[in-house]
Structures are given as structure tokens and as C-alpha cells.
A and B are shown apart, each in its own frame.
Chain A
Amino acid sequence: EVQLVESGGGLVQPGGSLTLSCAASGFTFTTYSMNWVRQAPGKGLQWVSYISSSSSTIYYADSVKGRFTISRDNARNSLYLQMNSLRDEDTAVYYCARARGAYDWFDPWGQGTLVTVSS
């Protein structure tokens, strides 16, 4: 069974840092690109970042560029999101989702991990 399990969320003060992890299982991790998507409380979905299977290509949403860093460890079947200079507006549930080829995007998703930025 394909599984994505996020972890690392929690309460952090504005300006603080946090690293999220996404553990993948049930599929060949090295053949998939990965994404982070977030959802603020009561709001819609927002794509955050993308990393290719070999880490050679990376994209970010403008709202997180320069503050967040996506990475992966193919030996550990894991995806990461290092989040620095956190703001109130980064408060959200963060999901990881895989992607491959032209159309196999965002299926499945993990269960999400909640990040709360508050003093």
C-alpha cells in the first residue's frame, strides 16, 4: 500500500524554524517527484514546493521563496521541508504528495501535519 506520513509539525513562535518530514513507503520513491501543499485553517489548498526525483529541479511558491527549503533523501525514502523565518500566515496543515510523468500528480496525499505559528 502506498503511504505518505508527515511529521514534525507543532507550535513555533514567529521568526522561528521548523523542519517537516514525509516518510514514503509502498512505492519506488526514487521514481517520483514530490510536493508540499498546505491548507490554512478553514481555507483552500496552496501548493508550496516541488522537488524532482533526483533533486535536480526545485520550485517554490513566491510566498515561501527564500524562507523554505525542500530536500529529499532517497536512501531513506524521505522528503523534508525546512521552514525558517516563520510567519503567522504560515499556519496551516502541511501535506506531502507525489507526482510522476505528465498526469500522475498529487496522488495520494499524506494525512498532513499541523504547523501553528503564534506567540
Chain B
Amino acid sequence: DIQMTQSPSAMSASVGDRVSITCRASQGINNYLAWFQQKPGKAPKRLIYAASTLQSGVPSRFSGSGSGTEFTLTISSLQPEDFATYYCLQHNFYPRTFGQGTKVEIK
């Protein structure tokens, strides 16, 4: 199975900060990677697909980059509504696998 290792697992940040979350795949997954945001009690919401394509309706402060085994989700200027847990997902191989999540908390 492909292991998706996200880092950090949690972080504290302030409104306006630039935040980056990394996801490393145990083997190459091309760009079959998506990023999701999940708020407590809610279903995940897709932010980025194909590693770097912004989902329609998602603010442009979110961006994704990477290919192969290393990927990054960046929030250019953290907003109050961005405090949530973020997950990466690889869909190149079965079983589909998620990263363990990164919880972004208010500093």
C-alpha cells in the first residue's frame, strides 16, 4: 500500500500567516493527489485536485504543488475560516490512501 505521510500533524498559526503542509508518498503517484479541508462535524471538502488545480469556488489563497512523491498545500494568508484539519489523498493506486491529517489551530 502507498503510505501518505503528512507533516506537521498539528500546527498553531495566526491570522495572516503563510502556512504550508507537506505530504510525502512512499512511492511515486504522478499527480494523482487531492487536498481536503474538514471542519468539526462536517464532511471533507475538496480544495485541490491533480496536485495543483484549484477547486472551483475555493479562495485563491489556497494553492497546491508537487509531483511524484512530494506535495505541498500552501495557504498564503490564513483566514479565521481556515482553521480546520487538512488531508491529502492519493488516487493513483488501490487502496486509496489518505494522509493522517494536519490540524491547523489558532495561535
Contacts and interface: CB of A to CB of B under 8 A. Distances in A.
Interface of A: 35, 44-47, 50, 59, 61-62, 95, 99, 102-112
Interface of B: 32, 34, 36, 38, 43-46, 49-50, 53, 55, 87, 89, 91, 94-101
A106 B87 contact: no
Contacts of B89: 45, 47, 105-106
Contact of B43 (A62, A99, A105, A112): A112
A107 B43 contact: no
A62 B46 contact: no
Grouping DSSP codes into helix (H, G, I), strand (E, B) and loop, the A interface class, with mixed when no group exceeds half, is strand
Contact of A50 (B43, B53, B96): B96
Contacts of B34: 103, 105-106
Contacts of A99: 91
Contact of B91 (A44, A95, A105, A108): A105
A45 B98 contact: yes
B55 to A, nearest CB: 7
